[in-house]
């Protein structure tokens, strides 16, 4: 393994995986994954329960490690070796879970600012600069939630909390060059129809601002037109990699979920049922 940045003459890569196999317990649950995602690209990852989506995300966040073998690498922003804390400050992760308990009694602006430290809240040892506070507030404005800055996270709806967590992730995202990336793990879970609509608007707005999005989802309607690429995972493998119009079809989705499905396209969104 090397520590040097990998030079490419194309767009810099956010994610670059080669020959990645991951075990959980005695079982191999990711098989020989090869994947390149440029930093500004918007990519959705779809697949049935247990196909390995979370394992893939946890491999990126260094919670899980691949089996060491010739040709294997996991490069994030062109680097293989990371201090894990620094890496998590760059990944812009929006977790699938509810916000941590420590964040609930805290005003939203503080939770967002704590993103600079990958912390749930601003613990006494954490000293944000004025620029950090300004940037955190600007992130909330960008997501249309500046009016919630003083409200405690625990006093918000799930949809509002999700947008706060996205603003927080924006504070801890990017390769240092100004390019932002977010890794969103099933962000529409537990959101009602209106909150799902707002989430889609948020994704469009972020993509419009040039933020790269890697979205793990179970819902085809989360894959807004900004997404130019879809990965389909099945049994620990990437079984298809293509455009939404090629892959969000009744045939491909029926294959993926082993279930007869239909797809309706409305307002540039794909609804599977
Ligand atoms: N902690 C664990 N120990 C052992 N096996 C696990 C563990 N977590 C997950 N697995 C197994 O690893 C495989 C991949 O699981 P993973 O959670 O990555 O799938 P997923 O696609 O994220 O599923 P979901 O859509 O339900 O979140 C599954 O076979 C699962 O049973």
pLDDT of residue 263: 95
**127-158 per-position pLDDT tens digit:** 999 999 999 999 999 888 999 999 999 999 88
Is 1 a residue whose pLDDT tops 80?
no
pLDDT of residue 55: 95
pTM of the model as a whole: 0.90
Alpha carbon of 218 to ligand 1 centroid (Å) = 15
User: What confidence tier does 11 reach under pLDDT thresholds 50, 70, 90?
Assistant: low
Distance of CA 229 to the CA centre of its chain: 14
pLDDT at site 158: 87
Query: Based on C-alpha coordinates, what's the Rg of the chain?
Result: 18
The token pair at 251 is: 């045939």
For ligand 1, the distance from its centroid to the CA atom of residue 182, given in whole angstroms, is 22
Atom of ligand 1 nearest to the CA of 96: 27
Express each pLDDT in 210-250 by its tens digit. Answer: 999 999 999 999 999 999 999 999 999 999 999 999 999 99
User: Which residues does 64 contact at the CB level (< 8 Å), separation at least 6?
Assistant: 22, 24, 55, 58
Atom of ligand 1 nearest to the CA of 54: 22
Instruction: Give every strand in the sheet of 13-24, ordered side by side.
Output: 27-38, 13-24, 73-76
Report ipTM (2 d.p.): 0.97
Comparing 7-11, 171-175, 229-233, 249-253, which segment has the lowest mean pLDDT?
7-11
Give the model confidence (pLDDT) of 49-68 as tens digits: 999 999 999 999 999 999 99
Query: What CA dihedral angle connects 107, 108, 111 and 116, to 10 degrees?
Result: -130
Report d(CA 15, CA 70) in Å as an integer.
19
Q: What is each CA distance from 189 to 7, 57, 223, in whole angstroms?
A: 38, 17, 14
230 within 8 A of 223, measured Cβ to Cβ: yes
User: Over the stretch 105-122, which tens digit does the pLDDT of each residue have?
Assistant: 999 999 999 998 888 899
Q: Which residue reads 């912390």 in tokens?
A: 119
Q: How many CB atoms lie within 10 A of CB 113?
A: 28
Protein residues with CB under 6 Å of any ligand 1 atom: 24-25, 29, 47, 49-55
């Amino acid at each position: 393994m090397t520590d040097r940045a990998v030079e490419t003459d194309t767009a810099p890569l956010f994610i670059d995986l080669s020959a990645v196999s991951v075990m959980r317990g005695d079982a191999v649950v990711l098989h020989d994954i090869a994947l390149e995602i440029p930093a500004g690209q918007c990519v959705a990852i779809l697949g049935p329960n247990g196909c390995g989506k979370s394992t893939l995300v946890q491999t990126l966040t260094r919670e899980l490690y691949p089996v060491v073998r010739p040709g294997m690498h996991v490069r994030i922003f062109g680097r293989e070796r990371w201090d894990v804390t620094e890496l998590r400050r760059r990944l812009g992760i929006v977790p699938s879970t509810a916000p941590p308990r420590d964040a609930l009694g805290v005003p939203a602006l503080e939770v967002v600012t704590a993103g600079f430290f990958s912390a749930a809240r601003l613990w006494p040892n954490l000293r944000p600069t004025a620029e950090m506070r300004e940037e955190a507030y600007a992130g909330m404005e960008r997501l249309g939630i500046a009016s919630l800055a003083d409200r405690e996270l625990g006093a918000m709806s799930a949809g509002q909390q999700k947008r706060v967590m996205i603003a927080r992730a924006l504070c801890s995202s990017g390769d240092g060059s100004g390019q932002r990336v977010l890794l969103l793990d099933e962000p529409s879970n537990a959101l009602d129809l209106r909150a799902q609509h707002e989430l889609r608007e948020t994704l469009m707005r972020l993509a419009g601002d040039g933020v790269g999005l890697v979205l793990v989802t179970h819902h085809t309607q989360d894959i807004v037109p900004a997404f130019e690429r879809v990965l389909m995972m099945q049994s620990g493998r990437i079984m298809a990699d293509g455009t939404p119009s090629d892959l969000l079809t009744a045939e491909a989705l029926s294959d993926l979920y082993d279930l007869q499905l239909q797809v309706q396209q409305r307002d540039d969104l794909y609804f599977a049922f």
